[in-house]
Amino acid sequence: MDVQKIKLRFGIIGNTYALTRAIDIAVQVAPTDLSVLITGESGTGKEVFPQIIHQFSARKHASYIAVNCGAIPEGTIDSELFGHEKGAFTGALSDRKGYFEVANNGTIFLDEIGELPLSTQVRLLRVLETGEFMKVGSSKVLKTNVRVVAATNINIPKAVKNGKFREDLFYRLNTVPIVMPALRERREDVYLLFRKFAQDFAEKYRMPALRLNESAQQLLQAYRWPGNIRQLKNITEQISIIEKERLITSEILQNYLPTSDEQMLPAIYKKDKSEEKSFSSEREILYQVLFDMKKDMTDLKKLVFDLMQKDGDAKDLQQKKAMLIRKLHEDQEMDVVAHQSYSPSKASVSHSDIPHIQDTEEFVEESLSLVDKEIELISKALARHNGKRKHAAQDLGISERTLYRKIKEYDIN
């Protein structure tokens, strides 16, 4: 059929190749029962194409139902599409037929298909594959012969990747894809659409139609139109009502166009690479501090083990002991800082709240006997773990059997 006649019949304005190609695909696929997925930005006129497909199919004398999936609450969408039995849920006072049952042998248009819940997507996939469905609250399988045409303005492959849309349903719907071009890709059609809308509003409000001078036409075609045809129609209606002058200049038109599309968007803070590695919460800071402390404790255990297993001269032993004590006090300081950063009830910790940490210089003159140090460390470990030898041995980095032998050997209570 002639494409121009189809445009006149369905009120389609424009001569862009992408638009003409979309109409041609719709007419060719109409006689079949293949599922069709129409994609494109919001406001591009996707809702016209399911009507073309229905009117040029063998189902044109049967029902045609358009359903906006995004406008139906998630809790009731299964009931709307597939029906429900009496008493299936609170408020189900009687049986109800769903759209798939009502549109049997006809066409159903599912707009904003990307908004369907995953549970409903499973039901829809079964209808597309077998033509079978069950009402909510019923175990009886019903049959339907419905042609499904779907449309969406979201990126379905991206939604599939993010787990928000079933991949098998996408391929089942996308048997024949139709892509609607955005208005910014139809520069030569913008002025044609403006004239059509201006004439429609002139008849509606009983006033002379708007006209654009040459500079206004250039500005109209240069604008990006993020809202596509819907935005163009709204602006044309605004100018028709507000402006008394019927010849519109670029200065007048500029007052109705946002100066920058990007300035209309919410501000987005972009982190640099160094900030991306920072912590996002105080909890993560605490975890990191604890992990570092655990690593230091492992080093301390290894150092103590070396002290217990190897003999050295007095100077070397004194240096190792000083290092050991210094690390112990550093761990105490890190523990205080971790509690201070994570406490939800205190914004800061006063100096008096921090336990007194003795200077490492005061311990340098202690006994250098390895036996005394072993007894001291074992006693501290047992006291820390309330006499539990298993945990004390793990803390010291030795076996429980060795610890038991040391306790007997040194007569430690």
Kindly state the average pLDDT of the residues 270-293. Answer: 54
Q: What is the pLDDT of residue 2?
A: 84
Q: At residue 11, does pLDDT exceed 70? A: yes
Q: Which among 213, 263, 188, 257 is positioned nearest to 16, based on CA atoms?
A: 188
Q: What is the pLDDT of residue 273?
A: 43
Q: What is the pLDDT of residue 390?
A: 85
218 vs 323 pLDDT, higher one: 218
Helix axes 400-410, 370-384, angle to 10 degrees: 120
Q: Which residues contact 335 (CB under 8 A, 6 or more apart)?
A: 293
Give the chain's end-to-end CA distance (angstroms, integer). 103
pLDDT bin (cut points 50, 70, 90) of residue 189 is: very high
Do 210 and 246 form a contact (C-beta atoms < 8 A)? yes
Please provide residue 204's backbone torsions phi and psi, each rounded to the nearest 5 degrees. Answer: -65, -45
Do 331 and 293 form a contact (C-beta atoms < 8 A)? yes
Q: What is the pLDDT of residue 360?
A: 44
Alpha-carbon gap, residue 317 to 303, rounded angstroms: 11
Q: At residue 40, does pLDDT exceed 50? A: yes
Q: What is the pLDDT of residue 266?
A: 44
Q: At residue 145, does pLDDT exceed 90? A: yes
Please provide residue 211's backbone torsions phi and psi, each rounded to the nearest 5 degrees. Answer: -135, 150
pLDDT bin (cut points 50, 70, 90) of residue 384 is: confident
26 vs 282 pLDDT, higher one: 26
Q: What is the pLDDT of residue 323?
A: 67
Q: At residue 78, does pLDDT exceed 90? A: yes
Q: What is the pLDDT of residues 218-264, one digit of tens each?
A: 999 999 999 999 999 999 999 999 999 999 999 999 999 987 544 44
Bridge pairing between strands 247-248 and 64-68: unpaired
pLDDT bin (cut points 50, 70, 90) of residue 28 is: very high
Domains of the chain (ranges; CATH) run 3-181 (3.40.50.300), 185-263 (1.10.8.60), 279-410 (no CATH)
For the ranges 216-225, 341-350, 374-383, 395-404, which has the lowest average pLDDT? 341-350
For the ranges 183-197, 306-320, 337-351, 365-379, which has the lowest average pLDDT? 337-351
Q: What is the pLDDT of residues 347-375, one digit of tens each?
A: 444 444 444 544 444 444 555 577 788 88
- The helix, strand and coil proportions of the chain, stated in percent and rounded to the nearest 5, come to 55, 10, 35
List the Cα angle 78/82/86 in 5-degree steps.
90
Alpha-carbon gap, residue 80 to 313, rounded angstroms: 87
Alpha-carbon gap, residue 324 to 66, rounded angstroms: 77
Helix (H, G, I), strand (E, B) or coil at 178: strand
Neighbours of 111 (CB within 10 A): 20
Burial of 23 (0-12, 13-18, 19+ CB in 10 A): buried
Do 256 and 239 form a contact (C-beta atoms < 8 A)? yes
Neighbours of 365 (CB within 10 A): 8
Tokens of 29: 């696929």
Amino acid at 134: M
Do 232 and 193 form a contact (C-beta atoms < 8 A)? yes
Q: At residue 281, does pLDDT exceed 90? A: no
Q: What is the pLDDT of residue 205?
A: 94
Do 216 and 249 form a contact (C-beta atoms < 8 A)? yes
Q: At residue 70, does pLDDT exceed 60? A: yes
pLDDT bin (cut points 50, 70, 90) of residue 313 is: low
Q: What is the pLDDT of residue 267?
A: 39
Q: What is the pLDDT of residue 370?
A: 76
C-alpha count within 13 angstroms, C-beta hemisphere, residue 400: 5
Tokens of 296: 């230091």
pLDDT bin (cut points 50, 70, 90) of residue 271 is: very low
pLDDT bin (cut points 50, 70, 90) of residue 317 is: low
